[in-house]
Structure 1
Amino acid sequence: MAKRQGEEFWGLALDLVKNPTRLAALLLGLDLALAVQPLPEALSAPLLDLAHKLHALCWIVVFAWVVLAIGGILAQWLQRTNSILSEDNLRARKIVTQVRMFRRVFSVIVAVVALAATLMVFDATRGIGASVLASAGIAGAVAGLSAQKFLATIFAGMQIAITQPIRLDDVVVVEGEWGRVEEITLTYVVVRIWDQRRLVVPVLYFLEKPIQNWTRSSAEILGSVFLSVDYRAPVAGLRTELERICREEAGELWDGRVCGLQVTEAGPTTLTLRALVSSPDSSRNWDLRCLVRERMVCYVQDNHPETLPLTRVSLTDMHMHTAEDKEHG
């Protein structure tokens, strides 16, 4: 399996560098040919100047292409060596989130530098190219005045990549919806809801509003199941049944850490019992809670039907009035 993954990685790496390498080899061959046989002096000066500029443009494209390919290879290597599909994937999710975010930032920087270098090749646009490189701070200030919201979103995306309040594959509750973080970009986050819907949320949301992250430091989680029973319910017997369900029926849904039953409320007519159970992750905990709820209800129905919630009616006053009527009659 590892050998196959290694072969797939090197195949992908070769695909990324294949085209820029071919172009670089072609340009190197052209340079060698020109070194042996320069362009004829009969050509006019404008044509010679245009040829040199096109040659320079090709090298700029090659360098930018190669740098992006190297960045892509490094990103692929980091993602393949830190798979988020593993059971304990906390460290992998952290690394993959940073890799994807910084790869986007890296691509933007390379594109800006390549654009500036391209503009500096031509005399008419050399000043613009120099301004792109030398006046980045001024350009940022001007852009900030006209696009403050956009820049704030970009910086928020970079902040999420560094501080990581959320990571890829984190289980979160956003706007009352439970789901997993499927994609993180510089401007928005895609949350895959449990019913296959996609919730697209601006990155600023995760910095400005509180969210629930169920896998921030660990995927392990506790879940509660509440039952309402009559005061005559055998709490100790129900606790024993809960332990049996977790031990014999839950299988991999229960991680063996927590399994307990407590009386959390004593109301006017019923007791409220809380079954607390633990699981390796939130998905299995949901299934475990459903299993516990179903089995506990069936246990009460089959073994202690008299402890189901009852509505009591007092008939004391009615009996007293009936007795008085008989005396007067």
Structure 2
Amino acid sequence: MPEWLSRIDETVSGLTLPSSVWGLLFVVGAILAAVLLHGLLFRLLLRRTAGRQSLTAGLLRRARRPIRLVFVLTALAFSVPNVRLPPGLDRFVQQGALVLIIVLIGWTLILLTGYFTERSLRRHRLDIEDNLRARKFITQLRVLRRAVDILIVLVTAAVALMTFESVRQYGVSLFASAGVAGLVVGFAARPVLSNLIAGIQIALTQPIRIDDVVIVEGEWGWVEEIFATYVIVRIWDWRRMVVPLTWFIEQPFQNWTRETASVIGSVFWYLDYTVPVAAVREKLTELVTSNPRWDGNVVNLQVTETDRETVTLRGLMSARNSPTAWDLRCEVREAMVEWLQREYPEALPRQRGELSILGDARHGARATGNRNGETS
């Protein structure tokens, strides 16, 4: 024992409290001092690196809490071997320090994974017109990162629990039996494992990506975020639909932006048989090509259906992305209706009726003859 600790031990031995209690207070004081020292040092370091975007500054800001744990472990390693603790408490402290070291390693791995993932994501932007490559990369990296985080947490928790003798014996007996208990544990872990496997499948095969336009359960929206066990779909009216990851592996759905962000929108008009299709086709081309939302690729008009009273005209037009295509469709639909009302009102839908004047005249003549005969 160092000389200054021996003096402290001699000083407190004459007091009413046992030396083991004073040793415990000394350990607690060392932990508090380590926490205070950590706070002061990090306050100074954060002031110097404020506003910087360097690798060192980013790691320093993220590592604040794990380094605090390092300070606490250092205080324990320095104080516990040099004092006398109450019986049984020293073993408890050693066990706790071992668990903290394991947690610190797992925590550090998660922080490093998240930090380098975010640095990689900054190089890819979603706010550009052709963002297919960015969506591929961001989706793959985010999903894999969350899968790695889950694995790190599970491994860290398992290793920490295995440091306890009772848990280790239970685990050995569980693996040795491999009976009903193993089936129960496997059944309980099935949702977590199935979603984890589904996340890895989505990251590799990518049936959906961040910012994809999808139709799920009849709802049209964007893939806003992909988490470890579920997907957030932002519906057009700002609602959010929460869908399990396994749903996108097991169920069919529509993905409008699987290959590119550009989409083709359609507008339908139900008009009378007297509509001049050629004039409508020419007007559609004029409306679409003059609209700044059009991407210059597709514009077309076809007669797609006929029934007893109307013909169906379908106009196709393309845009850079789905929100732009929606606005383009609405503007073209409105402008075409106004043009038809002004130039070809007879082409709007109407119902026809047939009136037979000859039949009515004959019926009236018979009625007149009958009346004359009765009079004579």
Pairs within 5 Å for 1:6-21? 7=53, 11-21=57-67
- Asked which structure has the greater CA Rg, the reply is 2
SS of the aligned residue for 2:296 comes to coil
The number of residue pairs the alignment matches comes to 317
Shift of 1:162: 2.7
CA–CA distance in 1 between the matches of 2:157 and 2:109? 14
d(CA) in 1 for partners of 2:112, 2:171: 25
Paired position in structure 2 for 1:225: 267
Q: Relative to 1, partners in 2 of residues 1:200 and 1:224: Cα closer, same or farther, differing over 3 Å?
A: same
Deviation at 1:168, TM superposition (A): 1.7
The 1:88/1:143 distance shift into structure 2, 3 A limit, reads: farther
Amino acid at match of 1:318: I
Measured in 1, the distance between the counterparts of 2:122 and 2:144 equals 16
1:104-119 counterparts in 2 under 5 A?
104-119=146-161
Determine the C-alpha separation between the residues in 2 that align with 1:274 and 1:6. 55
Q: Deviations over 1:164-189 (max 9, x none)?
A: 21122111111111111122223322
The 5-angstrom pairing of residues 260-271 of structure 1 reads 260-271=300-311
Contact between 1:225 and 1:274, CA under 8 Å: does it hold in 2? yes
Distance of 1:276 and 1:206 partners within structure 2? 29
Question: 2:345 maps to what in 1?
Answer: 305
Alpha-carbon deviation of 1:120? 4.1
SS of residue in 2 equivalent to 1:165: coil
Please show how residues 313-324 of structure 1 align to structure 2 within 5 Å: 313-315=353-355, 317-322=356-361
**Match among 197, 206, 212 for residue 239 of structure 2:** 197
Find the counterpart in structure 1 of residue 319 from structure 2: 279
Partner in structure 2 of residue 210 of structure 1: 252
Partners of 2:125 and 2:134 within 8 A in 1: yes
| Map of 1:289 onto structure 2 | 329
Mark the runs of 5 or more structure 2 residues left unpaired by the alignment: 1-50, 370-376
Contact residue 83 and residue 92 of structure 1 kept, 8 A: yes
Counterpart residue identity of residue 214, structure 1: W
Distance 1:41 1:23, change over 3 A: closer
Q: Describe how 1:1-329 pairs up with structure 2 within 5 A.
A: 7=53, 11-24=57-70, 27=73, 39-40=81-82, 49-50=91-92, 52-127=94-169, 142-248=184-290, 250-251=291-292, 253-315=293-355, 317-322=356-361, 325-326=364-365
Letter in 2 for 1:241: K
Distance 1:212 1:92 in 2: 21
Secondary structure, in 3 states, of the residue corresponding to 2:53? helix
Distance 2:171 2:98 in 1: 15
**Alpha-carbon distance, 1:6 to partner:** 7.8
- Report if aligned partners of 1:178, 1:193 keep a CA contact under 8 Å in 2: yes
Amino acid at match of 1:114: T
Deviation at 1:51, TM superposition (A): 5.2
Give yes or no for contact 1:220–1:278 (8 Å, CA) kept in 2. yes
CA contact (8 A) 1:172 1:181 kept: yes
Distance in 2 separating the partners of 1:311 and 1:39: 99
**Aligned residue identity for 1:90:** L
CA drift at 1:11: 4.8
Q: TM-score, normalised by structure 2?
A: 0.72
Quote the Cα distance in structure 1 between the aligned partners of 2:362 and 2:83.
133
What is the rounded CA distance, in whole Å, between the counterparts of 1:177 and 1:41 in structure 2? 67
- Match of 1:228, SS state, is strand
Task: Tell whether the 8 Å contact from 1:228 to 1:271 is kept in structure 2 after alignment.
Answer: yes
The code of the aligned residue for 1:24 comes to V
TM-score by length of 1: 0.81
Q: Which amino acid aligns with 1:84?
A: L
Range moving further from structure 2, 64-73 or 303-312: 303-312
* SS of equivalent to 1:255: strand
The SS at the match of 2:308 is: coil
